[in-house]
Amino acid sequence: MRIGMILDNTFPPDPRVENEAVSLIKKGFEVCLFALKYDEKEADFEIVNKIQVYRYTSTKLNYKLSALAYTVPFYSKIMSKKIEHFLKETRVDAIHIHDMRIAEAVLMANKKNLPTVLDLHDNMPEVMKFYPHLQKFPGKYIISPKKWKQKEEMFIRKATKVITVSQEFIDEVVQRVKIPTSKIELVPNTVRRSFYQKAEINHDLVEKYRNDFVLLYLGDTGLRRGLQTAIAAIPKLKNVIPNIKLVIVGTNTTDYVLKQQVEELGIEKYVDFQGWQNVKLFPSYIMASNICISPLNRNIQHDVAYANKLFQYMSLGKPVLVSDAIAQKRLVERTKTGLVHKERNPDSFADGVLKLYEYPELCKIYGINGKFFIENEFCWEKTSEKLIELYKNLDPNS
């Protein structure tokens, strides 16, 4: 079978897209990927890890119009023409749509009614509510998360199959959209074995934090990720753990809020903003840490999705401290890989850190459990099996 994946972004990088495509190719499928390019010098066609990548020129205006995809139809109409050309050029047997922003354009371009797999990376209508540009004029008044949710439900009904990232997300979609559970499959974001088996450790970086008790956060630092809770706990923690260091690896446009909070609390020496770093350095940061954190603020999206950082942390044998967002709380409690704190509660967060600090043997047990869980149940090579089965059973004539 020849699969046409549709991505409304540049490629590479996109770990989920690449993981899925490479796994399918290893099982004998052909994968052609529709992607965008904003630099004319970039190749129109390239083979990346055996993925046949077809790039279509886009503009910054088109990018901005994507936010208005379900307010005005311009973006979908522009993209549908490009996708229609891609489908004619590649003659694929099935279409794999990466997230809902480009879904309408794909449906418009799918003149042959090829079977479609809708891959929901996120609960986009819920995530959008926290975008900074939707908090102010004009975005607040012209972009409607409610309209996006209605569109999402329509796309779910129209798709041949749906895949998404957590069982909690599946349960929410089945209840909300009233689709049979057989229509939707779980393909979570997890780490490839190579992430932890072939990690190249930067010993200078590990040495840098050798004398610190490191709380590590990896990834997007948007305010909904809960770092304000972790920062607010530092004044209490530093009185018990004088060498504590909150290391934050990631960026967001709202970082100025976090930095201002640190300054107001007078804890600059205890918080290290590292900015975004190459993913190749992630294992080194994890190895340099004592506790790895995911202090998500609770909302509909966070209650039904796992942060991929959890699996990166666990794969290298580190204990985790997570907020009580439902999906990650259940995961950590089931696997016995760390502790749970109340969301937005600095005292609860601090209590969790102190318990792990005071009981290093407990940390070791949680770390061992996490590593075992990833190696035997939740690495990408295991969790991608359902994706392979989905395509093996997909009827090109459906």
Whole-number pLDDT of residue 36:
96
Report the chain's mean pLDDT, rounded to a whole number. Answer: 93
HSE of 144 in the Cβ direction (CA atoms, 13 Å)? Answer: 10
Is the pLDDT reported for residue 134 higher than 70? Answer: no
Higher pLDDT, 69 or 289: 289
Is the pLDDT reported for residue 135 higher than 80? Answer: no
Q: What is the mean pLDDT of residues 284-292?
A: 98
What residues have CB less than 8 Å from 122, skipping those under 6 apart? 99, 165, 301, 305
The total of other beta-carbon atoms located within 10 Å of residue 160's CB is: 17
pLDDT band of residue 143 (cuts 50, 70, 90) is: confident
Decide if domain 2-190+381-392 falls under CATH 3.40.50.2000: yes
Q: Which pairs with CB-CB distance under 8 Å and at least 24 residues apart come from 141-148?
A: 142/68, 142/71, 143/67, 143/68, 143/71, 144/70, 144/71, 147/70, 147/71, 148/70, 148/100, 148/124
Q: Which residues are bridge partners to 36 per DSSP?
A: 56
Let me know if the fold of 2-190+381-392 is the same as that of 193-378: yes
pLDDT tens-digit series, residues 162-210: 999 888 889 999 999 999 999 999 999 899 999 999 999 999 999 999 9
Asked if 238 and 244 touch (Cβ cutoff 8 Å), the reply is: yes
Whole-number pLDDT of residue 17:
95
pLDDT band of residue 318 (cuts 50, 70, 90) is: very high
Whole-number pLDDT of residue 356:
98
Smallest CA-to-CA distance from 222 within 296, 272, 329, 301 is with 296
Asked if 282 and 249 touch (Cβ cutoff 8 Å), the reply is: yes
User: What is the C-alpha separation between 87 and 297, in angstroms, rounded?
Assistant: 41
Is the pLDDT reported for residue 125 higher than 80? Answer: no
Could you tell me the pTM of the whole model?
A: 0.85
The tokens 């190579």 sit on which residue?
194
Is the pLDDT reported for residue 67 higher than 70? Answer: yes
Q: What is the mean pLDDT of residues 25-35?
A: 97
Whole-number pLDDT of residue 133:
60
Burial degree of 256 (CB within 10 A; 0-12, 13-18, 19+): exposed
Asked if 42 and 55 touch (Cβ cutoff 8 Å), the reply is: yes
Whole-number pLDDT of residue 379:
94
Share of the chain above pLDDT 90, in %: 81
Whole-number pLDDT of residue 398:
58
Torsion of CA 92, 94, 99, 105, to 10 degrees: 60
pLDDT band of residue 156 (cuts 50, 70, 90) is: very high
Is the pLDDT reported for residue 286 higher than 60? Answer: yes
User: What is the C-alpha separation between 340 and 390, in angstroms, rounded?
Assistant: 34
Is the pLDDT reported for residue 118 higher than 60? Answer: yes
Whole-number pLDDT of residue 126:
75
Question: What residues does each domain of the chain span?
Answer: 2-190+381-392, 193-378
User: What is the C-alpha separation between 182 and 287, in angstroms, rounded?
Assistant: 40
User: What is the C-alpha separation between 60 and 260, in angstroms, rounded?
Assistant: 31
Q: Which fold has domain 193-378?
A: Rossmann fold (3.40.50)
Structure tokens at 111: 């003149």
Whole-number pLDDT of residue 189:
87
| N-term to C-term CA, the chain | 14
The tokens 């770093």 sit on which residue?
277
User: What is the C-alpha separation between 167 and 383, in angstroms, rounded?
Assistant: 12
User: What is the C-alpha separation between 290 and 216, in angstroms, rounded?
Assistant: 8
Whole-number pLDDT of residue 62:
83
User: What is the C-alpha separation between 217 and 337, in angstroms, rounded?
Assistant: 16
Is the pLDDT reported for residue 253 higher than 80? Answer: yes
User: What is the C-alpha separation between 17 and 10, in angstroms, rounded?
Assistant: 11
User: What is the C-alpha separation between 112 and 34, in angstroms, rounded?
Assistant: 17
DSSP secondary structure of 23-74: HHHHTT-EEEEEEEES-TTS-SEEEETTEEEEEEE--HHHHHHHTTTTTSSH
- Residue 244 phi, psi dihedral angles, 5° rounding: -65, 145
Q: What is the mean pLDDT of residues 33-55?
A: 96
Burial degree of 87 (CB within 10 A; 0-12, 13-18, 19+): buried
Whole-number pLDDT of residue 141:
53
Is the pLDDT reported for residue 372 higher than 80? Answer: yes
Please state whether beta strands 213-218 and 244-249 pair in parallel, antiparallel, or not at all (unpaired).
parallel
